[in-house]
């Protein structure tokens, strides 16, 4: 029997506030607990000694959103802090289209989420409210993706065992993993989302199709990737990867992609 498919999905800056004091045990708590504490301590120290403008930059927030982010960060120092399952906490476009509430818990545990605060979690792991982007630097740890990369990569490899890992991450979160190293011992499939110019696509529709694809993979398996279509987006195999091509790429001759070098095109 094939090992269950694992899907790497990005977190969202948009988060549902609140939660309960029930802690629970996350899949990576034992391996990453000490490093998570280091991030919290470094973040608290950075914000405490920063100007208001620096706080805005670190937390990528202003006004009422900044106040909420500062309060949430202060609460991270407490032994008991309100938590929600990650699938309940994240509320951005990817997650609304993934529709995790209608998935089974076992399926949600196969969603893996790189995190600037937690390193990596499953969608079932309980997390606090927080705001910190992966490409932000926090002294003395450096950029969060750089800090987490050597720690998360072996932990993910051990967790994956014989599973295939499908990577739906944008570059910001992909940087927190050494996918080249991971691919030496695990089967990693990279998926790119391509716009009308042959470059990486962004925006609401690109996030929406990412959520739809993640759900399709979890419910229908890896074979669904090669035949995936949704509202004009379509899967195209390309140099060992899969490209999910936007409708604007379609011309009278069918679907085309612009050839370009990719960092992990061996997957």
For residue 257, what pLDDT is reported?
Answer: 37
For residue 241, what pLDDT is reported?
Answer: 87
Tens-place pLDDT, residues 49-76:
899 999 999 999 999 999 999 999 999 9
The domains of the chain are located at 6-255
Percent of the chain with pLDDT over 90: 81
- Residue 223 belongs to what H/E stretch? none
Do residues 166 and 5 lie in contact, with contact meaning Cβ atoms separated by under 8 Å? Answer: yes
For the chain, report the end-to-end CA distance as a whole number of angstroms: 23
CA distance 209 to 83: 28
CA distance 234 to 246: 7
Listed in order, strand segments (DSSP E) in the chain are 6-8, 83-85, 111-115, 119-122, 126-128, 137-138, 142-143, 164-167, 187-194, 229-230, 233-238, 241-245, 250-251, 254-255
Do residues 164 and 224 lie in contact, with contact meaning Cβ atoms separated by under 8 Å? Answer: no
For residue 259, what pLDDT is reported?
Answer: 37
- The segments of the chain whose pLDDT lies below 70 read 1-2, 196-202, 249-267
pTM equals 0.90
For residue 250, what pLDDT is reported?
Answer: 47
Helical packing angle, 29-48 and 144-160, nearest 10°: 170
For residue 265, what pLDDT is reported?
Answer: 26
């Amino acid at each position: 029997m094939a090992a269950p498919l694992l899907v790497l999905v990005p977190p969202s800056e948009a988060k549902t506030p609140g939660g309960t004091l029930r802690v629970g045990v996350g899949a990576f708590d034992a391996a990453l607990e000490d490093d998570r504490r280091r991030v919290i301590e470094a973040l608290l120290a950075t914000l405490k000694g920063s100007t208001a403008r620096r706080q805005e930059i670190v937390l990528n927030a202003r006004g009422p959103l900044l106040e909420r982010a500062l309060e949430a960060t202060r609460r991270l120092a407490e032994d008991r802090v309100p938590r929600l399952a990650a699938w309940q906490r994240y509320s951005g476009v990817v997650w609304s289209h993934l529709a995790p509430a209608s998935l089974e818990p076992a399926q949600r545990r196969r969603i893996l989420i790189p995190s600037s605060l937690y390193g990596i979690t499953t969608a079932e792991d309980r997390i606090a409210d927080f705001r910190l982007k992966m490409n932000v630097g926090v002294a003395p740890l450096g950029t969060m993706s750089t800090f987490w990369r050597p720690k998360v990569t072996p932990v993910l490899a051990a967790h994956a065992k014989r599973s295939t890992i499908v990577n739906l991450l944008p570059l910001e979160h992909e940087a927190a993993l050494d996918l080249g190293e991971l691919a030496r011992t695990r089967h990693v499939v990279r998926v790119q989302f391509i716009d009308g110019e042959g470059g990486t696509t962004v925006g609401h529709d690109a996030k929406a199709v990412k959520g739809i694809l993640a759900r399709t993979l979890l419910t229908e398996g890896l074979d669904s990737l090669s035949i995936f279509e949704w509202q004009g987006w379509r899967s195209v195999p390309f140099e060992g990867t899969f490209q999910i091509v936007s409708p604007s790429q379609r011309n009278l001759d069918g679907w085309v992609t612009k050839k370009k070098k990719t960092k992990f095109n061996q997957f």
